[in-house]
Amino acid sequence: MRNRIGGLMALVVFVAPLAGISAPPPRENSQFLQDVKALTAEQLVSAVLTRNPGLQGLAAAAEAANYRIAPAGALDDPMLTYAGAPKTAGGPRGFQERVELSQSLPWPGKRGLREDAARARAEGEEQSLADGRLALMAASKRLFAEWAYIHRTLKIKHAHRDLLTELRRIAETQYATGRGRQQDVLQAEMEAARIDTGIVTHQRRRREVQAMINGLLNRPPQSPLPPPAPLPVPTDPPALQALHEAALEEHPQLRRIQARIAEANARQGLAEKEYFPDFKLSAGYNALWDSPDKRWMVGLSINLPIDLSGKRGATRDAAEADVMRYRWQLTDQEAQLLAQLEQGRARVQESQEVFTIHRQRLVPLAEESLSAAVADYRAGQGDFFTVIDAERQKLRTQDNLARAHADYLRALAALERSTGRPLDSDSPRPIRINQAPTDTAGQPLEQE
């Protein structure tokens, strides 16, 4: 049996920055999930998106970036200058002073470009928020898939533990009538102990997954969680062309790079405008002049954009290089997303087909094989090792069915992450992974 906990830990480490932003943890809401009898993936995703502090931090960053748009295009504050001549105090004309009011005016177009750059940066923050939501949605669904698998496989193992108790009684009866061996009874005990070991391991995994889910929910690790609802029926994924179109149009990673390109273009425009002077208008009163006609003054000053050191040329070249850098990043990201969509869709199809094969063929065959082995053993025409082997095969097949169902949800979550949006299922109705394990007479077994 494959161990998926390591992969889930890596997934949580990937999204840990979203949960690691400093924020006071909210008080535990006693009503949170209290009325939920069976937790669905959609409920978990909604709760994570509501309670995760890292996502709230990204939302605050996007809000702050939007607030910076207006200041970026605003004029600098006007300057008020005051100066006095100390030695004129007590003189015949009294204390002499100078007052000046000035306002800087950038070259036309600079303010608009600065505002465009700030607006593009804000758009990038908005897309970072959207990408953070996608990452948390994928993490939540993958953890929910493991949560559902662990609950299902524990039920299967408990049912097989009860089944082995019945098989042990059959072996004891056969041994008492002289048609069996004591070794058969011991073999049943050994097999039951092996299943008990698996139960202990999965109980430990359940605690681990519970802690990881509560970590995304910003709750204490041991906070109780409702049992999972039945998983939906696996369905065919959308056509690859539709996935390509959705990803290229909507994916936040691409739109974030596009926002960076827009910001770099604005920065490049600003670098071009640096070759033109800025202005400063001033008006003032200078009492140092003897003649009153000379005391009122107005002025205009400009900077001289002489690029002797080459700084303006270097700034312009750097801005052009940034534009090319982000354009190449966009091309590379598009290629990677298209490759991920191809791989992700193939994994969804594979898990769906594996689920169907197990559900329609392998599990029924394993059940028939066990029933036939028990019937032969009771009739004295088979040995107990064949019964145990058939029981192991049924347990393994049922567990593989549960794993394939969880793998489908994990693969679908990864495909949604690559597409950039959730994929609506055509058949969202839930089903049971498999009928409850039965005894040798075909009757459902009570589960612990």
- Cα separation of 121 and 215, whole Å? 30
CA-nearest of 278, 279, 282 to 102 is 282
Tracing tokens 């065919």 back to the chain, one arrives at 236
Tracing tokens 């149009």 back to the chain, one arrives at 249
From the centroid of its chain, how far is CA 337?
A: 16
- Cα separation of 207 and 15, whole Å? 20
Residues in the chain: 448
Decide the pairing of beta strands 79-85 and 96-105. Answer: antiparallel
Task: Give Rg (Cα) of the chain.
Answer: 36
The count of other CB atoms within 10 Å of the CB of residue 14 is: 12
In eight-state DSSP terms, residue 276 is S
Helices in 274-383 by DSSP H: which ranges?
311-357, 363-378
pLDDT in the model for residue 307:
82
Q: Sign of torsion, CA 171 173 175 179?
A: negative
Name residue 80's beta-bridge partners: 101
Helix axis angle for 311-357 and 384-419, nearest 10°, is 150
CA-nearest of 65, 16, 19, 421 to 254 is 421
- Cα separation of 365 and 239, whole Å? 33
- Cα separation of 201 and 195, whole Å? 10
Reading the chain (448 residues) residue by residue, the pLDDT tens digits are 444 444 444 444 444 444 444 344 444 444 567 778 899 999 999 999 999 999 999 999 999 999 999 999 999 999 999 998 888 887 777 788 999 999 999 999 999 999 999 999 999 999 999 999 999 999 999 999 999 999 999 999 999 999 888 888 888 888 787 777 888 888 888 989 999 999 999 999 999 999 999 999 999 999 999 999 999 889 999 999 999 999 999 899 999 999 999 999 999 999 999 999 999 999 999 988 888 888 899 999 999 988 888 899 999 999 999 999 999 999 999 999 999 999 999 999 999 999 999 999 999 999 999 999 988 888 878 888 888 899 999 999 999 999 999 999 999 999 999 999 888 643 333 333 334 444 434 444 443 3
Could you state, in order of their start, the residue ranges of all structural domains in the chain? 37-78+108-276+310-419
- Cα separation of 431 and 418, whole Å? 27
pLDDT in the model for residue 424:
63
- Cα separation of 320 and 305, whole Å? 20
Q: Phi/psi zone of residue 2: left (φ > 0), alpha (ψ -120 to 50 degrees), beta?
A: beta
pLDDT in the model for residue 319:
94
Tracing tokens 């009122």 back to the chain, one arrives at 296
- Cα separation of 113 and 73, whole Å? 8
Tracing tokens 């004309």 back to the chain, one arrives at 93
pLDDT in the model for residue 185:
85
Per-residue burial over 183-194, b if 16 or more Cβ lie within 10 Å, else e, is ebbebbeebbee
Q: Sign of torsion, CA 103 104 106 111?
A: negative
Q: Which long-range contacts (CB under 8 A, 24 or more apart) does 150-155 make?
A: 150/202, 150/205, 150/206, 150/209, 151/206, 151/227, 151/228, 152/402, 152/405, 152/406, 152/433, 153/202, 153/399, 153/402, 153/403, 154/199, 154/202, 154/203, 154/206, 155/436, 155/447
The answer to whether residues 168 and 440 touch, using CB atoms and an 8 Å cutoff, is: no
pLDDT in the model for residue 263:
95
pLDDT in the model for residue 32:
65
CATH of domain 37-78+108-276+310-419: 1.20.1600.10
